């Protein structure tokens, strides 16, 4: 086979091999492990770079291996998948650096980094899966590889969180499986195709297609944390900060959201889905989740829990973008996949910095912390303002396109949801910023370990990098290779009729 | 049907080789154990490759022993299904043998008794999968049961003797029922060959009685609920390598016979009442077994109850395969694939558990705390094989579940789909109950004893095979399609269906 046929598999394997090797590296071999980690992450980034260039020029990268007699294992790089792949591989590198610093000296690091890499592998597989059965394989693998990360600390609380997490996600996975088997039964093998494949199904099967859509969304909605399936997410906050960052910004919630994107655009086809009448309920569900998540975030004092509820709310922007028919809303939803990832990971990195450096876990303890950790808190501020939707930060772009899309589709209620959510975002983020910068500190802060820097460089550099990316994604949104440019490319390919 | 080759000499070799090895290991006891093992394994794998090459040319292979044809002589026969079962036995058997070398390294008395029995059991298994008539099947099944009972009582302590006795009585009762059915059939038709009967059989009361007697006998040996009472004590109290081969291989032999009996000989008897009924028993086994597995204190008892649930899944094959000729192949492939994946995964789980028990000297789940630190490979193997038992991808268990689900939904029997999916959730519950223990830090008083590296490694390889079965299922499934059973079953059920 040619290079084009191997590249998607190589991208998946680059982190898989890393992960398996790390699992067998001795606990004390810090240097070997770090080198393996970084080599894997950088190799992946290079491969992904080649693939992005290729997909832009309409090269076909497809790995196809026989799995069942009439069913292939398909990995394919398309514009939609590449968006998620690029996001994950960039953030994997940064989170790895962060995690090396964060976990310095704590036990079971080989296990942690091993499963961490397997988790990224699953994310890659989800992004590149060319059909639903391949998608399911990686979707379930993601559940299994994140479980050890959630329970990593081994405390009773962590074990409880792990149990809740599994109960939700394995049930969701089972629902998804039922939906997919049923769909295959009805329509034959379903490969992801731009603009969907189901429009040719005879009308007599429409009720079944409706039911299948509901089952699939319920299955995927668990990881997406759609209300009322979001219960696992705030509980899973006991995991170490790099895991929360990864779970919330990249891997798990995005896997669910990405699955919904795939179902709506590349299986049903968004126009066919609209004809079936399934988009509107989906949009309403997203609207409810957006508002509910924001309201719950208001009352949380634990920083990571507030961020978690904020995630519940923000991820549904993506779903809202799917639910509103029209290219502008699509652009807004799809680009938010990246934007929310960049902003939310920055926020979680900052939460980890605070916990690791000053032992701060609660918002009420954050008074005046801006003076002690100005760089981290500047990053936090950028990301928080972005979440609210202040230009020119990335979050503004998402909201702008979502709003335009809602107006274009005459879904004025969605504009209302966006406005309400923006007010609520401001209501739960601005008080934090006020505490950070304007309130006096309660007492003396612990001294920095090394005099010149506010925290370890391995923690600070990734935080600043993601904050910068969130800023740049908004500022240079007009560029062709910005997330927005890429989302426009996707929308053009999904609606090109 | 495609052509039938006259003789494949590999078939008698596959039976005689383990029997010879058994005799030799009995005569020479401790000497040359490794040499014998190496020679026998090489011979068995070589013969399997030869058999596969022969199967390439013909769908059905025969070997009349001594030149006598049926109905007088002993006729051997092999098709795709037989080959898959033989290969399953050889794969699991090889790793269990290697494991046993390590396990019995410091226990000579049990070790000396283990090898002859194990070789005889292996020979009996191969003979079951190669037999062409119902009487042969009876004889080989008997040899199988007796060696299995012997293996259960290997340690000679009170618990295992009681379990062994119970197992022996169940096995004998099963054999009696089967033999009576056999006698009825022989009286009515004068032949017991699978193919001969398939052509002759008529729907009449005597047949129904014969079939029910044989079925009850075989269900007892396969331990389908409510005839499972002997299994948990026997599989739970035996030594780990023995538990592994009992759960992985022995119950599959009688399941295999049930498939042959119903889908090849009596397909007309697969009425809705019967198949739905047997599926219901399977469902009860799935949920009751999982409930009991979840509440076990001892690790090996938990795994033994898990076998009860997995047997339940196997019997969902009946309603799914009998419902429609177009999906019979899918359902039967799913059932057989489940049997094979379960064999590999369950063996891995028992072998991993055996290593954990040897390390902690405890059979209690709550003492497993911190075992992951000392036996990371065993824990990883346990978890990986557990993925297959839960039916999650990528694993053989998932492929099997996919096929069964497809069959359930396309025949409109959505209730079996519900059972399959909910059953998977319940197995996740009891498997993670073990795994979460292992994430806890070790307690201060825990003492860990070293084990030979071969013990975790064999479990890991088996678990890896369970995953590989999920990634490349094309070859085994294509082989299964070429089997006398499935073709006959598909044809016959089309006659029943409207």
Domain-wise residue ranges, chain A: 278-496
pLDDT bin (cut points 50, 70, 90) of residue B495 is very low
Mean pLDDT over B47-64 rounds to 88
Q: Is this structure's pTM higher than 0.90?
A: yes
What confidence score (pLDDT) does residue A360 get? 87
Instruction: Say how far apart CA B158 and CA B161 lie, in whole Å.
Output: 5
Instruction: Say how far apart CA B11 and CA A491 lie, in whole Å.
Output: 62
What confidence score (pLDDT) does residue B1 get? 41
CA-nearest of B131, B265, B242, B122 to B185 is: B265
Lowest mean pLDDT among A447-461, B18-32, B156-170, B244-258: A447-461
Q: Would you say residue B465 has pLDDT above 80?
A: yes
pLDDT bin (cut points 50, 70, 90) of residue B494 is very low
Give the chain B residue whose CA is nearest to the CA of A141.
B393
> Which residues does chain B have within 8 Å of residue A140's beta carbon, measured at their own beta carbons?
392-393
A181-204 pLDDT, tens digit per residue, is: 999 988 887 888 888 888 888 888
> Is A177 touching B (CB cutoff 8 A)?
yes
CA-nearest of B217, B206, B146, B149 to B179 is: B217
Orientation angle between helical segments A327-358 and A483-495, nearest 10 degrees = 150
Q: What's the whole-number average pLDDT of chain B?
A: 88
Residue from the list A67, A111, A182 with its beta carbon closest to the beta carbon of B474: A67
Instruction: Say how far apart CA A396 and CA A130 lie, in whole Å.
Output: 32
Select the more confidently predicted residue: B168 or B73: B168
What confidence score (pLDDT) does residue A380 get? 94
A352-398 pLDDT, tens digit per residue, is: 999 888 888 899 888 888 888 889 999 999 999 999 998 888 989 99
User: Cβ–Cβ of B439/A23 closer than 8 Å?
Assistant: no
What confidence score (pLDDT) does residue A371 get? 86
Mean pLDDT over A15-30 rounds to 84
**Encoded tokens for B213:** 């007697």
* ipTM, two decimals: 0.90
Select the more confidently predicted residue: A108 or B122: B122
> Which residues does chain A have within 8 Å of residue B439's beta carbon, measured at their own beta carbons?
148, 151-152, 154, 159, 162
Cα dist from A74 to A9, A125, A370, B346, B385, whole Å: 9, 10, 49, 29, 24
Give the chain A residue whose CA is nearest to the CA of B395.
A137
> Is A162 touching B (CB cutoff 8 A)?
yes
Give the chain A residue whose CA is nearest to the CA of B334.
A68
What confidence score (pLDDT) does residue B122 get? 96
Q: Would you say residue B415 has pLDDT above 80?
A: yes
User: Cβ–Cβ of B439/A154 closer than 8 Å?
Assistant: yes
> In percent, how much of chain A has pLDDT > 70?
98
> In percent, how much of chain A has pLDDT > 90?
47
* Gap from B394 CA to chain A (nearest CA, Å): 6
A323-333 pLDDT, tens digit per residue, is: 998 889 999 99
> Which residues does chain B have within 8 Å of residue A163's beta carbon, measured at their own beta carbons?
432, 436
Instruction: Say how far apart CA A102 and CA A357 lie, in whole Å.
Output: 10
* Gap from B263 CA to chain A (nearest CA, Å): 22
pLDDT bin (cut points 50, 70, 90) of residue B202 is confident
> Which residues does chain A have within 8 Å of residue B432's beta carbon, measured at their own beta carbons?
147, 163, 166
Q: Would you say residue B2 has pLDDT above 50?
A: no
* Gap from B117 CA to chain A (nearest CA, Å): 37
Instruction: Say how far apart CA B289 and CA B235 lie, in whole Å.
Output: 14
Cα dist from A425 to A175, A224, A377, A392, A395, whole Å: 32, 19, 18, 17, 11
Q: Would you say residue B497 has pLDDT above 50?
A: no
Give the chain B residue whose CA is nearest to the CA of A154.
B440
> Is A184 touching B (CB cutoff 8 A)?
yes
Q: Would you say residue B79 has pLDDT above 70?
A: yes
Q: Would you say residue A414 has pLDDT above 50?
A: yes
Cα dist from A256 to A283, B414, B427, whole Å: 16, 26, 24
Q: Would you say residue B141 has pLDDT above 50?
A: yes
Mean pLDDT over B1-20 rounds to 78
What confidence score (pLDDT) does residue A165 get? 92
CA-nearest of B316, B444, B448 to B373 is: B448
Instruction: Say how far apart CA A282 and CA A268 lie, in whole Å.
Output: 14
> Is A114 touching B (CB cutoff 8 A)?
no
What confidence score (pLDDT) does residue B361 get? 80
**Encoded tokens for A394:** 């990335």
> Is A178 touching B (CB cutoff 8 A)?
yes
What confidence score (pLDDT) does residue B304 get? 94
What confidence score (pLDDT) does residue B112 get? 85
Q: H helices within B153-250, ranges in order?
A: 158-189, 194-200, 205-222, 231-237, 240-245
């Amino acid at each position: 086979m040619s290079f084009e046929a191997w590249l998607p598999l190589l991208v998946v394997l680059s982190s898989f091999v890393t992960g398996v090797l790390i699992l067998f590296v001795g606990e004390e071999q810090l240097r070997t492990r770090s080198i393996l980690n970084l080599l894997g992450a950088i190799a992946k980034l290079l491969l992904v770079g080649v693939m992005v260039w290729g997909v832009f020029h309409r090269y076909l990268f497809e790995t196809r291996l026989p799995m069942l007699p009439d069913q292939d294992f398909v990995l394919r790089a398309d514009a939609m998948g590449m968006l998620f792949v690029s996001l994950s591989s960039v953030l994997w590198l940064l989170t790895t650096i962060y995690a090396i610093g964060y976990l310095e000296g704590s036990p079971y690091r080989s296990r942690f980094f091993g499963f961490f890499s397997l988790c990224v592998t699953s994310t890659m597989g989800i992004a590149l899966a060319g059909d639903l059965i391949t998608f399911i394989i990686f979707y379930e693998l993601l559940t299994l590889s994140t479980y050890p990360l959630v329970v990593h600390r081994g405390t009773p609380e962590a074990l409880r969180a792990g149990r809740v997490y599994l109960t939700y996600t394995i049930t969701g996975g089972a629902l998804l499986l039922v939906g997919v088997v049923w769909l295959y039964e009805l329509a034959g093998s379903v490969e992801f195709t731009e603009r969907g494949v189901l429009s040719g199904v005879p009308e007599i099967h429409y009720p079944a297609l409706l039911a299948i859509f509901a089952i699939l969304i319920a299955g995927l909605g668990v990881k997406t944390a759609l209300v009322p399936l979001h219960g696992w997410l705030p509980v899973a906050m006991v995991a170490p900060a790099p895991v929360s960052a990864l779970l919330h910004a990249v891997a798990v919630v995005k896997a669910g959201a990405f699955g919904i994107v795939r179902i709506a655009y590349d299986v049903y086809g968004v126009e066919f889905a609209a004809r079936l009448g399934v988009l509107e309920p989906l949009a309403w569900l997203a609207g409810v989740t957006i508002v509910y998540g924001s309201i719950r975030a208001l009352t949380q004092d634990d920083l990571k829990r507030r961020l978690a509820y904020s995630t519940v709310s923000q991820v549904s922007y993506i779903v809202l973008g799917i639910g509103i028919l029209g290219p502008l809303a699509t652009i807004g939803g799809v680009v938010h996949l990246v934007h929310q990832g960049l902003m939310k990971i920055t926020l979680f990195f900052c939460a980890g910095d605070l916990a690791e450096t000053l032992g701060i876990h609660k918002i009420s303890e954050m008074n005046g912390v801006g003076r002690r950790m100005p760089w981290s808190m500047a990053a936090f501020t950028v990301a928080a303002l972005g979440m609210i939707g202040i230009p020119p930060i990335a979050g503004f772009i998402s909201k702008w396109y979502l709003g335009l899309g809602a107006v274009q589709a005459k879904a004025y209620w969605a504009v209302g949801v966006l406005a309400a959510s923006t007010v609520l975002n401001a209501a739960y983020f601005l008080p934090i910023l006020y505490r950070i910068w304007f309130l006096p500190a309660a007492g003396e802060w612990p001294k920095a370990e090394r005099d010149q820097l506010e925290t370890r460089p391995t923690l600070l550099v990734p935080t600043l990098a993601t904050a910068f990316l969130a800023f740049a994604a908004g500022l240079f949104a007009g560029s062709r290779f910005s997330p927005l440019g890429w989302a426009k490319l996707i929308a053009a390919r999904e609606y090109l009729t | 049907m495609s052509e039938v080759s006259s003789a494949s000499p590999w078939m008698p070799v596959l039976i005689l080789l383990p029997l010879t090895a058994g005799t030799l290991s009995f005569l020479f006891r401790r000497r040359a154990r490794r040499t014998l093992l190496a020679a026998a394994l090489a011979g068995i794998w070589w013969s399997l490759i030869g058999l596969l090459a022969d199967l390439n040319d013909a769908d059905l292979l025969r070997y009349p022993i001594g030149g006598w044809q049926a109905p007088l002589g002993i006729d051997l026969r092999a098709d795709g299904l037989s080959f898959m079962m033989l290969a399953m036995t050889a794969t699991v058997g090889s790793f269990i043998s290697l494991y046993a070398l390590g396990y019995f390294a410091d226990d000579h008395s049990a070790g000396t008794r283990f090898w002859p029995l194990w070789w005889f059991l292996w020979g009996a298994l191969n003979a079951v999968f190669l037999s062409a008539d119902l009487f042969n099947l009876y004889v080989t099944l008997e040899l199988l049961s007796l060696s299995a009972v012997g293996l259960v009582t290997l340690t000679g302590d009170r618990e295992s003797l009681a379990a062994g006795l119970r197992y022996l009585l169940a096995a004998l009762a099963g054999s009696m029922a089967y033999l009576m059915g056999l006698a009825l059939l022989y009286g009515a038709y004068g032949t017991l060959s699978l193919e001969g009967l398939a052509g002759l059989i008529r729907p009449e009361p005597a047949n129904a009685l014969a079939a029910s007697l044989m079925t009850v006998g075989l269900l007892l040996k396969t331990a389908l609920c409510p005839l499972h009472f002997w299994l948990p004590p026997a599989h739970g109290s035996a030594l780990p390598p023995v538990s592994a081969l009992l759960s992985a291989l022995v119950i599959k032999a009688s399941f295999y016979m049930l498939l042959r009996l119903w889908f090849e000989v009596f397909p007309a008897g697969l009425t809705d009442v019967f198949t739905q009924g047997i599926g219901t028993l399977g469902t009860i086994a799935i949920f009751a077994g999982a409930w009991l597995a979840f509440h076990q204190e001892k690790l090996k008892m938990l795994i033994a109850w898990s076998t009860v649930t997995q047997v339940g899944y196997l019997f969902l094959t009946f309603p799914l395969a009998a419902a429609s000729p177009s999906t019979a192949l899918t359902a039967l492939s799913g059932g057989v694939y489940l049997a094979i994946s379960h064999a590999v995964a369950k063996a891995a789980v028992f072998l991993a558990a055996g290593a954990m028990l040897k390390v902690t000297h405890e059979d209690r789940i709550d003492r497993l705390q911190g075992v992951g630190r000392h036996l990371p490979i065993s824990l990883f193997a346990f978890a990986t094989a557990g993925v297959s038992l839960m039916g999650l991808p990528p694993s053989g268990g998932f492929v099997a579940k996919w096929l069964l689900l497809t069959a359930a939904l396309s025949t409109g029997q959505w209730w079996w789909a519900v059972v399959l999916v909910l059953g998977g959730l319940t197995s996740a519950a009891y498997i993670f109950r073990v795994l979460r223990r292992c994430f806890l830090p070790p307690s201060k008083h825990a003492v860990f004893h070293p084990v030979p590296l071969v013990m975790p490694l064999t479990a890991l390889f088996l678990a890896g095979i369970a995953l590989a079965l999920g990634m490349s299922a094309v070859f085994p499934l294509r082989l299964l399609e070429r089997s006398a059973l499935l073709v006959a079953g598909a044809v016959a059920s089309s006659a029943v269906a409207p």
